[in-house]
Amino acid sequence: MSRLSLVLLVAVAAGSPDVALAHDAFGDLGPFYGALLHPLADPAQGLILAGIAVVLARQPLATVRLAWLALALSGAVTVLSGAWVELAGPGPGVASLAGVVLGLLALSGRDLGLWLSIGLAALAGIVAGLAIDLPTGARVASLGAFGGAVGIGLAALLVWGLVDGLQHRFGRVAGAVAASWVAAVGTMAAAFSFAGAA
């Protein structure tokens, strides 16, 4: 392909914009898979889950097992409750600030202890569960809630596994780098959220 053809193709593509839908990243996958993949499509929920996963990756394994269980259970209960009762989401500003706090907490690298880790994980699960907007209708809302419950636990577990594996390979500095990214993304998102509100 010649340069002129490429320039014309780019000009035509740039001259014909289309509507961008934020939560339509995967198309219509149905209520279960749409809610299961929600942490990938919603930056607020993804930031909360990534933040708590990095915090847990910096904790001892015995603490992580119980804290992850608290995260998964509290997230599941919140999402399943949202299928029957309308719950308000945290909003991007709250999620961004929570991401900053979790990132800085993980960056410290301190052992938080069992009960504080469980409490933080349960709170993160509740906030992540509130971030899911379920469709109307009992059947589709139930399917979406089940997908969201699985997605919360699975997303946190995958991020934890990635960071934990990197720490085993490269040392605890890998966890510190991941924590700084979470804090930086949270700071950037908070700046955008509060600048747009002003």
pTM: 0.80
* Residue at 7 is within a domain: no
Phi-psi region of 9 (alpha: psi -120 to 50; beta: other; left: phi over 0): alpha
Work out the average pLDDT over 110-120.
Answer: 94
How many Cα atoms occupy the beta-carbon half-sphere of 82 within 13 Å? 29
b/e string for 31-70 if b means 16 or more Cβ within 10 A?
A: bbbbbbbbbebbbbbbbbbbbbbbbbbbbeeebbeebbeb
* Mean pLDDT (the chain, rounded): 84
pLDDT band, residue 123 (cuts 50/70/90) = very high
Choice among 1-10, 39-48, 75-84, 173-182 with the minimum mean pLDDT: 1-10
Show the domain range for 117: 34-197
% the chain with pLDDT above 90 = 48
Q: Please, is 74 exposed, middle or buried when counting C-beta atoms within 10 Å of its C-beta (0-12, 13-18, 19+)?
A: buried
- The structure tokens listed for 124 are 């993160």
* Residue at 28 is within a domain: no
What pLDDT was estimated at residue 72? Answer: 95
Rounded distance, CA 82 to CA 126, Å?
11
Q: Please count the other Cβ atoms lying within 10 Å of the Cβ belonging to residue 193.
A: 17
- The structure tokens listed for 113 are 């202890």
* Residue at 19 is within a domain: no
Query: Which residue from 72, 42, 44 is spatially nearest to 56, judged by alpha carbons?
Result: 72
* Residue at 9 is within a domain: no
What pLDDT was estimated at residue 196? Answer: 65
* Residue at 157 is within a domain: yes
Choice among 37-51, 131-145, 153-167 with the minimum mean pLDDT: 131-145
* Residue at 80 is within a domain: yes
Q: Is the dihedral of CA 106, 112, 114, 116 positive or negative?
A: negative
11 or 82, which is more confident? 82
Total of domains in the chain: 1
DSSP 135: P
Work out the average pLDDT over 14-32.
Answer: 60
- Does position 33 have pLDDT exceeding 60, yes or no? yes
Q: Are 68 and 160 in contact (CB under 8 A)?
A: yes
Instruction: Give the type of residue at 128.
Output: A
* Residue at 172 is within a domain: yes
What pLDDT was estimated at residue 17? Answer: 58
What pLDDT was estimated at residue 6? Answer: 64
**What is the distance of C-alpha 154 from the center of its chain?**
11
Taking every pair of Cα atoms in the chain, the longest distance, rounded to a whole number of angstroms, is 64
* Residue at 2 is within a domain: no
